[in-house]
Amino acid sequence: MGARLHQKVFEERFHYWADKLGDLTWAESSSWGSDRSNQVAARNFLSEWGEIVVRDRNHPSIIAWTTFNETGWTYLERDIENWNRFAKTQHDRLLVDVYALTRNLDPTRPVNDTSGHVHVKTDLWTVHNYEQDTDELKEYLTLDKEEGVFRSQPDKDTAYEGQPYLVDEYGGIKWVPGEVSDDPGESWGYGDNPKNLEEYYERLERLTNAILDLSHICGYCYTQLTDVEQEKNGIYSYDRREKFDMDRISKIFSRSGNLSD
């Protein structure tokens, strides 16, 4: 087991302790909201990302690089056809360039060009799916004989070429200990809030088993390890206190299932 270091360049002390304790991580950069169709922003990102890889590439706890999170919004949400073509060209070029840069600086680890959404050139194929109904989640992710694997943006993606396939965001179930689970505050999670702890455990187990039952899926990453300011869907609270029976949580996540070797 390990952690996806979501949208943050972690301090070197963190990587030191991950090395010492044997915690496996996917290193990532903060990129949400950046305009990947902007040439200046792209050039700045390439230079900054290169410095990150060089600084951290000797940490054995890092087993993969993820350069972006959920790319494609800059042109998917626009309705001007000509602008779309330009933005997609710039977006795709940046992902190809950052893939090549990362592989040149560190040829020892796989590169995930973007976590979820629009893949262009990647060693890993990652998807996000927050469906809370177990049957529907399994239907989404089941390998289709004609359509192949589930893809977030099949009309924008490059073709899937058999890369290791991972669901690196799912679940995100809200739970706030000591409060009514459907509290009217600004905090949130995905789907309807569980009415009690038992309902939480049962939903978490069902969603996880839906993924584990599918042999073409190589791994998964639950959203998320700890609460953050606006999302209360962590396994731990914002200040790292336990929210659940961790033995029960561990058993749910430790099932080996039918994930491919």
Domains for the chain: give ranges and CATH numbers: 1-111 (3.20.20.80), 124-261 (no CATH)
Confidence of residue 230 (pLDDT cuts 50, 70, 90): confident
The pLDDT of residue 128 is above 90: yes
The pLDDT of residue 87 is above 90: no
Contact 48, 28 (CB under 8 A): no
Q: What does pTM read for this prediction?
A: 0.88
**Residues 34-75: pLDDT tens digits?**
666 677 888 889 999 999 999 999 999 999 999 999 887 555
Sheet holding 62-71, edge to edge: 2-4, 24-28, 62-71, 111-117
Report the percent of the chain where pLDDT is more than 90.
67
pLDDT value at position 188? Answer: 87
Mean pLDDT to the nearest integer, 202-229: 94
Confidence of residue 79 (pLDDT cuts 50, 70, 90): very low
**Residues 132-188: pLDDT tens digits?**
999 999 999 999 988 899 998 888 889 999 999 999 999 999 998 875 454 556 788
Best CA proximity match to 120, nearest among 141, 101, 97, 144: 97
Per the DSSP assignment, residues forming a β-bridge with 167 are 127, 220
Any idea what DSSP says for residue 123?
S
Query: Measured between alpha carbons, how far is 62 from 216 in angstroms, rounded to an integer?
Result: 24
- Count how many Cα atoms sit within 13 Å of the Cα of residue 242 in the half-sphere of its side chain: 7
pLDDT value at position 154? Answer: 85
pLDDT value at position 88? Answer: 78
**Residues 2-45: pLDDT tens digits?**
889 988 999 999 999 999 999 999 999 987 666 666 778 888 89
pLDDT value at position 186? Answer: 76
The pLDDT of residue 243 is above 60: yes
The residues, ordered by sequence, that sit 6+ positions from 137 with a Cβ below 8 Å of its Cβ are: 129, 131, 170, 207, 210, 211
Whole-angstrom CA distances from 247 to 7, 207, 242, 253 are 28, 18, 11, 10
